[in-house]
Amino acid sequence: MSLDLILLGTGSPVHVGHRFGPSQVITDGTTRILVDTGWAATVRLVQAGVPPQSIDAVFFTHLHSDHTTDLADFLVMRWVGGVRQAIPIYGPEGTKRMVHGFQEAMAADTKYRLDHHGDKLWPGGLAADVTEIEAGEERVEVARIGDIVVEAYEVDHRPVKPAYGFRFEKDGRSIAISGDTNPCRGLLNGARDADMLVCDSMNVAMMRQLEERLRSIGNTAQASLLEDAHDYHADIKDMAALAQEAGVKHLVLSHILPAIVDEQAAQFVVGLDAVFHGKLSVGHDLERFSA
């Protein structure tokens, strides 16, 4: 059985209709692991034919809003979907507080539904079993979900610290997820000889064009915020070079900045074939790949 990737959202914090918040599922056909819950991840799960109640565990790379805010919707839909046990959640330091906050935000809703539906719903509501993980630049096993081994490694998304990438392995197949990062030793270790790397992807030249366009229409505030994003997302060419050095076989671009449409894909990846010689895919929401 292969190890598959389902891209749910391939966008960034800024909402656009064609690339939703960063989120993906790793599955071997039996076990389903949700990595990050970016905005509208739960909608995408339903569209992908993966019911929220079928998810076995959730992993958070880091706690930026674009990777987390759909957790409330996910927990509610999973619960009303009939699950009667706590969801295992893994993430960096701060994950317990965040999960508790989402549960508190939904506390009135949870009570209304329990009062209304009685024991048709699990009284545990949105309960989660949260593990805050620790990892450095070397890969370390943090969980086994079904038959899938999960390793974590620290990446460089400063000032967001800690921020992690994950590597999922089963029967010699491997999928690494970069998380949000600049090229760094942790990612090099995490992606070493991986069958697939799902990679944070920013095209700096296209970002600069977008920033200039925003300035030209007077939106200097948003242009300035986008400029700050250059600090903690690397140019895609540097990431592709790292993937080559790591020996990655298939590089899947996600977290796409700026949020290009299909007609811009060739421009987005221009020059990458000079630095990365494996298979290259510009990811779309709801696209699936097998490792």
Instruction: Considering the complex, state which of residue 169 and residue 200 has its C-beta at the smaller distance from Zn ion.
Output: 200
Containing H/E element for 214? Answer: helix 204-216
What is the smallest separation between the CB atom of 181 and Zn ion, expressed in angstroms?
Answer: 9
Of residues 155, 108, 115, 109, the one with CA closest to residue 135: 155
Residue of 168, 154, 163, 129 whose CA lies nearest to 31: 168
Bridge-based pairing state of the strands 196-202 and 173-177:
parallel
The site string for Zn ion over 46-85 (x = CB under 5 A, - otherwise) reads ------------------x-x-------------------
Q: Of 95, 32, 38, whose CA–CA distance to 103 is shortest?
A: 95
Q: How far apart are CA 85 and CA 127, in angstroms?
A: 8
Nearer to Zn ion, 106 or 251 (CB): 251
With contacts defined by CB under 5 A, name the span among 40-48, 119-127, 137-145, 176-184 that binds Zn ion.
176-184
Nearer to Zn ion (CB atom), residue 14 or residue 270: 14
Four-CA torsion 86, 88, 90, 93, nearest 10 degrees: 30
Query: Would you count residue 180 as binding Zn ion (CB under 5 A)?
Result: yes
Site string for Zn ion, 121-160 (x = CB under 5 A): ----------------------------------------
The Cα-based distances of 29 to 25, 238, 290 in angstroms read 11, 33, 11
Using the rule CB under 5 A, give the single segment among 43-51, 71-79, 146-154, 173-181 that binds Zn ion.
173-181
d(Cα 242, Cα 9) in Å, to the nearest integer?
23
Q: Least distance (Å) from Zn ion to the CB of residue 131?
A: 21
Stretch that binds Zn ion, among 46-54, 144-152, 174-182, 276-284 (CB under 5 A): 174-182
Pick the closer one to Zn ion by CB: 126 or 177. Answer: 177
Q: Is 4 a catalytic residue?
A: no
As annotated, the active-site residues are 66
Interface residues toward Zn ion, by CB under 5 A: 64, 66, 180
